[in-house]
Amino acid sequence: MITVTPKAAEQIKQSAKQNQMEGMPIRIAAKRDDAGSIQYAMGFADQQDENDISYTSEGVTVMVPPDSVELLQGATLDFVELESGEFNFIFLNPNDPEYVPPQEGSGSSHYF
CATH number of the domain encompassing residue 70:
2.60.300.12
Tell me how far CA of residue 44 lies from CA of 21, 23, 39, in angstroms.
Answer: 8, 10, 17
Predicted confidence at residue 101, as pLDDT, reads 78
Predicted confidence at residue 86, as pLDDT, reads 87
Q: Which residues touch 4 (CB under 8 Å, ≥6 apart)?
A: 12, 57, 58, 60, 62, 76, 77
12: containing domain = 3-111
Closest C-alpha to 39, from 82, 98, 103, 86: 98
Say yes or no to pLDDT of 77 above 80: yes
> What is the per-residue pLDDT across 80-109, written as a single tens digit (0 to 9) for each?
988 888 899 999 999 988 888 777 554 444
Domain count, the chain: 1
> What is the per-residue pLDDT across 13-69, written as a single tens digit (0 to 9) for each?
999 999 999 989 999 999 999 988 899 999 999 888 889 999 999 999 999 999 999
Predicted confidence at residue 104, as pLDDT, reads 58
> Which pTM value belongs to this model?
0.84
